[in-house]
Amino acid sequence: MAKITLVEGVNMALGRALADDPDVVLIGEDIGINGGVFRATAGLQEKFGDLRVQDTPLAEGLIAGMAVGMAAQGLKVVAEIQFMGFLYPALDQIANHMARMRNRTRGRLTCPVVVRMPHGGGIHAPEHHSESLEVLFCHHAGLRVVCPSTPARAYGLLLAAIREPDPVIFLEPTRLYRLAKQDVADDGKALPLDKAFILREGDDVTVVTWGALTHETLQAADQLAQEGINAEVIDLASLSPIDHDTILDSVSHTGRLVIVHEAARNAGLGAEIAATVAGKALYDLLAPIERVTGYDTVMPYFALERAYIPTVARIIEGVRRTLQG
């Protein structure tokens, strides 16, 4: 067992998948000798060769499009988009082809592709490097969307994503890439793709979040606990499909719900969760549902990014609003 960071968990899962399955192929920009701009593929080309760990021309639409053609041939493609702001040219291929191939051919052709990309801000990166665009994918049937929040979950969920017979969008929280280390065994064990994780149990309020904000949310829960307020913290992990059952179970005993996400509020995933809880468990609720989110502004340049990303204080404020009255 090794103490590793989240990005090392990604690297370990990729190495394990390449070693276990000769059909696994990695494609992306600078993922070869450079090992990826975040080092997620460090050392893998050296070990598995430049066909299985392949630098592509600098074109995100091509990366997604060639992945469709490769996957339909039975390869299991893990494609890296270097930064989330650069994914838009790839969206055509992901939405119009990758997500639909199984359905439109009635299962004759499939696209077992994992599209990995960094997610979220907070690392002082240039513009277009810090987006949180998960809803672009959650809206498309045929895709799964996953966002890990620890080294162990990055390892286990990425292995699950690679083994899944359908396309999976794998969002890696940049802020957590090197934030903390954790013991993770390279045991090849996958985690379930469609389950939320309860990070902390509590009876007073349910806080649902994912990705990097699990970190701030757990800190907020610690501070609230000192006042005797016990928050149940749920890491959604699977953003599509959403594990509504885990959320509804939690709300049934807390009666309060706060949703925390870094993406903009308008038409964000929080709205989907809130609508589902309101539709299925309105009478369990003791207070209006709160959302603590990024603002409906453009993700600012990094000088103001900390003002945009929900903070521990804003999460606590959101929880307190559900406890009033």
SS3 35: coil
**Interaction of residue 163 with other proteins, rule CB under 8 A:** no
From 97, 119, 124, 129, active-site residue: 129
CA nearest 78: which of 119, 26, 118, 28?
26
CA nearest 171: which of 195, 153, 192?
153
List C-alpha distances in Å: 54 to 44, 46, 164: 10, 11, 21
Site for other proteins in 228-257 (CB under 8 A): 240-242, 244
The reply to whether omega before 241 is within 30° of 0 (cis) is: yes
Pick the binder of other proteins from 19, 37, 62, 287 (CB under 8 A).
Answer: 62
**Interaction of residue 92 with other proteins, rule CB under 8 A:** yes
Q: How many CB atoms lie within 10 A of CB 40?
A: 26
* Of residues 76 and 175, the one with the C-beta less far from other proteins: 76
CB 15 within 8 A of CB 44: yes
* 172 half-sphere exposure, CB direction, 13 A CA radius: 31
**Contact partners, residue 319, CB within 8 Å, separation at least 6:** 205, 207, 220, 224, 229, 231, 256, 258, 290
What is the spatial distance between Cα 25 and Cα 198, in angstroms, rounded to a whole number?
A: 33
* Of residues 74 and 228, the one with the C-beta less far from other proteins: 74
List C-alpha distances in Å: 174 to 39, 81, 242, 246, 248: 12, 13, 22, 26, 29
Is 139 marked active-site? no
Shortest Å, Cβ 123 to other proteins: 29
Query: Token pair of 146, please?
Result: 């996953």
**Interaction of residue 34 with other proteins, rule CB under 8 A:** no
Shortest Å, Cβ 171 to other proteins: 18
Shortest Å, Cβ 111 to other proteins: 10
Of 95-103, 131-139, 281-289, 303-311, the segment contacting other proteins by CB under 8 A is: 95-103
Residue 187 dihedral angles phi and psi, to the nearest 5°:
-100, 5
Pick the binder of other proteins from 41, 45, 56, 209 (CB under 8 A).
Answer: 56
Residue 146 dihedral angles phi and psi, to the nearest 5°:
-130, 140
**Interaction of residue 108 with other proteins, rule CB under 8 A:** yes
SS in 3 state form for 44-87?
HHHHHCCCCEEECCCCHHHHHHHHHHHHHCCCEEEEECCCHHHC
**Interaction of residue 51 with other proteins, rule CB under 8 A:** yes
Shortest Å, Cβ 40 to other proteins: 21
Count of residues touching other proteins (by CB under 8 A): 45
Pick the binder of other proteins from 164, 186, 284, 317 (CB under 8 A).
Answer: 164
Q: How many CB atoms lie within 10 A of CB 126?
A: 10
Interface characters, 189-228, with other proteins (x: CB under 8 A) = -----x----------------------------------
Shortest Å, Cβ 71 to other proteins: 8
Pick the binder of other proteins from 71, 176, 237, 258 (CB under 8 A).
Answer: 71
**Interaction of residue 279 with other proteins, rule CB under 8 A:** no
Shortest Å, Cβ 25 to other proteins: 6
**Interaction of residue 1 with other proteins, rule CB under 8 A:** no
Of 4-12, 70-78, 254-262, 284-292, the segment contacting other proteins by CB under 8 A is: 70-78
Per CB under 8 A, residues contacting other proteins are 25, 51-52, 56-57, 59, 61-62, 64-75, 89, 92-93, 96-97, 102-110, 141-142, 144, 164-166, 194, 240-242, 244
Catalytic residues: 129
